[in-house]
Structure 1
């Protein structure tokens, strides 16, 4: 992968300013109404993996509510992509670190669409540091509040609206399984997401609500040039067996699988889409 022109100034990054634009959906991906009539809520849905899930959902017949932080242009581009699929999109701008906003996001979705069937907890931040001692209290709190607290907030607000055959999908990470020496706090939140997924799946199984996760490896999203620079950015993803970073478009169909009845006998599980790394658990 060619080096981005420069590192982006802040997280979570802007897709429309990336030199190498991530691929959202394959041109030959054909929808088959697997999510016809469904309504999905996706945090961090304006770009990257969340955007791919959103557009795939729309192509499969779902209307989508997109929760995003401040990336207005990316959110509007995603909205247009969803509408081009013939579906409706609701943009909800705010900070998932705030419990009140998460409740507002769910309430707004219900007010707009009258129901909610699929929840994708996907928003995340990361701050690489050379040592544990370098992790600031401010960034530690921000990482946990964004990456795992928001999952509790969104899901708690949404759960009373979900019914049998509905689905919750949580984005974790390969770092939850193999660790990361430079992302200790981030990897810790991703491990918490695995435990959250497994525990919540047991709680909701009798209600017929499935809870699963996806653990991406190195995926080319706006978060990457907003996090890394120099050789670290240039070499991103080259250390996996497939020798390259993945595209968001290579994850979107997995979100469709977990949201649809194709995964009707799966709950408490995590799909590993990581370029070939063998991960246990």
Structure 2
């Protein structure tokens, strides 16, 4: 009896720790959206955020990558590493962060993960031969409804070019979906794939920025703002969120952990009120709730999206 009680307590403790890791990943992903929007509002360009994210993540992950074997990029391989970097490297951030120059936080926070879920679902069904279940159909319909609601109310006199941001968010979501599918098909570890993409992106971007770019916008930032942006984009979004999510998957199982990315849009909208000063309109709230609920329904049955976050 004592052994049974001890095992039950250990299982409960493990589950609690897994939930904490999952929620930590959710908050860090949400902060990425909030501060990408804040960066756009303060005049930073996507190239600035690229410079903040990938070199910092590369410095943090390089020792891990060397320990696992730099010769084959920690088991990812150079060829596959280049392909992965094309999906979640500078191109992903160029569109994902660039969209916030045209559209508000609510739009990007909902459209990027929603598009990622839709694209990954389509590939899983059409290419990988997975079944189109009732849960998936319901989730897809809800996500499409949420996106449509936000899109229809997004272009206003205050934001006449919001549609440009919508397209950019969708491209970024498609990039993340491609990364998700590659991780699944090639059976890559999420951390290994992230390390490979970060290091390769830094190898390409840093010399390019040093030769042709400028640090004027970053240098003009108050030091506390610069540290905050580096922490959010380089440390949290670039490294810690992925590590935390991987730990939650290990402790909770893929089925339970898959629900964490689904709540990122709602958390981003809530955090955006005090941190970015953006209060979503009623249609945006409704669209976010509809899409978030749809993501939760769909993610529960999409193995490809259970391996990595949003």
Q: TM-score, normalised by structure 1?
A: 0.29
Based on CA coordinates, which of the two structures has the bigger radius of gyration? Answer: 2
Which gives a bigger RCO, structure 1 or 2 (Cα 8 Å, sep 6+)?
2
Provide the TM-score with structure 2 as the length reference.
0.27
More strand by share: 1
